[in-house]
Amino acid sequence: MGAGREAFRRLLQERMELELTVRGRRSGQEHTRPVWFVVEGDTLQLLPVTGSDSRWYRNLLVHPDVTLMVDGESLRLSARPITEPALVAATVERFRARYGASEIARYYSKLDVAVEIELPPVSHVTPA
């Protein structure tokens, strides 16, 4: 699936939003929503709009496996909450740099947590 990973990474570079699917902590049903994101190295970072009060954030605390989808390409990965204030602040700054400070202030009401998802490695095959 190396080609799929490479295609997914290219799509991430071209898009400002992706679809995040999480499983409900009580119902077990899947819920999908559009989210903004930043990529830092091999890590994709998310910032819940209402912070630790966001339903999708509370769901992934119970069921950390999530699906990311961009233009029909999807990856199922594991998400990890970020609660350390310095790391959350660094994620917020990356979001401000990418989307604009005024947009983050406009849409994000609570900045107390973030989420990181380790992206799978891309194959490093050198053509012969």
| Domain range list for the chain | 2-118
Phi, psi dihedrals of residue 58, rounded to the nearest 5°: -65, -35
- Range in 76-80, 100-104, 112-116, 122-126 the model is least confident about: 122-126
* Alpha carbons 15 and 44: distance in angstroms, whole number: 13
Q: Note the pLDDT of residue 25.
A: 92
pLDDT at residue 1 is higher than 80: no
When pLDDT is cut at 50, 70 and 90, the band that residue 16 belongs to is very high
Overall CATH class of domain 2-118: mainly beta
Contact by Cβ (8 Å): 128, 61: no
* Alpha carbons 18 and 12: distance in angstroms, whole number: 8
For the whole model, what pTM was predicted? 0.88
